[in-house]
Structure 1
Amino acid sequence: MGDLEVIRFADRGRSVSVELENAAGGGRYDGWHEAEIVIETGFVGARLPVHFTDADLADLTTFLAARAVAEEDGAPPDGSVTDWPAAGRSAYLRLRVADPFVVEIRDPVQSGVTVSVPLQLRDDWATRAASRLDRLRTALADSR
């Protein structure tokens, strides 16, 4: 995992990650972060620009915290769906809490293409992802 990785969903053969384009996390516009969605599978390898705010990072933190609690409680996947960042501004991830966990990469604004990546995530993935995201958010706040 790189220092600029916002989130990473991965199993043995596939991954979807979101990586900041610079260490300061800043973008062309005040308050926006520029990043790339990186898709790596045996079938698809792609990079797609994505833009999000600190509020979007807080939303992702909330999603991961809820998933971590569900993992700790041993709750089975419930089929819920979350879009991150919120749909409509740029490309985004649709996160489907199922077995397997599915990440859909949607790009309605530029290409109109959707890629679906089913993943067998490891136990405690949400707890680890939340911890990494918390460290990144702290580093971003400190760099301003």
Structure 2
Amino acid sequence: MDTNTQPDAIELIRLVDLTQSISVRLRSTEPILETPSVRHYDAEAVVTSGFVNGTVYLGFDSEDLTDLDRLLDAIEEAEQEADLDEPFTADWPQSGRTAYLRFIAEDPHVVEVRDETSTQIVVSVPLDISEEWIAESRERLAAARSALALPQRDHHEERP
């Protein structure tokens, strides 16, 4: 852990295969800004591989966690539809504010860490991740919501 990360930091996202990984770590469970309806958090995206290692600031808010939950649903649905002409692609958090991740659901999965607002660097990492990665991601998301004292999403509710 680097010296700038707080002791209560947790991993929100962790995608890993045998040789490389991408993770998003909350630097603290305390919001850096809070309005009556939205909390903003300080996080970082971390890329680790034999070729490149790096960390970049990635901020998100409490509403972005709901978007992440929906993104996991959409990726899971896209993976079940094997005959897509184009691979499913989505960004999290919404692009344009800070660095963000671009998920590309193909074989292998590709996750890009995009810092277009600051350094203009994009790192593309192919990941041969296990079939359990979505379930593990939902567990991490639930743990993060709990640590941040945010409501949990019921996965049995109807999707819009």
Fold shared by both chains (TM-score > 0.5) = yes
| Cα displacement (A) at 1:129 | 0.9
Which SS does the other structure have where 1:63 is aligned?
Answer: helix
What letter matches 1:16 in structure 2? I
Identity %: 37
Which residue of the partner structure matches residue 147 of structure 2?
A: 139
Are 2:63 and 1:26 equivalent residues in the alignment? no
Which residue of the partner structure matches residue 14 of structure 2?
A: 8
| Cα displacement (A) at 1:25 | 3.8
Are 2:111 and 1:106 equivalent residues in the alignment? no
Are 2:94 and 1:86 equivalent residues in the alignment? yes
| Cα displacement (A) at 1:76 | 3.3
- Show structure 1 runs of 4+ deviating over 2 A: 65-71, 74-78
Name the CA distance, whole Å, in 1 between partners of 2:107 and 2:30.
33
Name the one with the larger helix percent. 1
User: Quick check: 1:68–1:124 contact (8 Å CA) kept in 2?
Assistant: no
What letter matches 1:114 in structure 2? V
Which range moved further: 75-84 or 55-64?
75-84
Are 2:67 and 1:62 equivalent residues in the alignment? no
Which residue of the partner structure matches residue 48 of structure 1?
A: 56
Name the CA distance, whole Å, in 2 between partners of 1:138 and 1:127.
17
Bigger relative contact order, structure 1 or 2 (CA pairs below 8 A, ≥6 apart): 1
| Cα displacement (A) at 1:68 | 4.0
Which range moved further: 82-91 or 56-65?
56-65
Name the CA distance, whole Å, in 2 between partners of 1:104 and 1:70.
18
Structure 1 gaps, min length 5: none
What is the TM-score normalised by the length of structure 1?
0.87
| Cα displacement (A) at 1:49 | 0.5
Which structure: larger Rg?
2
| Cα displacement (A) at 1:26 | 1.4
Name the CA distance, whole Å, in 2 between partners of 1:15 and 1:50.
16
Deviation digits for residues 47-69 of structure 1, max 9, x if unmatched? 10010001111111111133345
What is the TM-score normalised by the length of structure 2?
0.78
Name the CA distance, whole Å, in 2 between partners of 1:107 and 1:61.
22
Superposition pairs for residues 123-134 of structure 1, below 5 Å?
Answer: 123-134=131-142
User: Quick check: 1:77–1:98 contact (8 Å CA) kept in 2?
Assistant: no
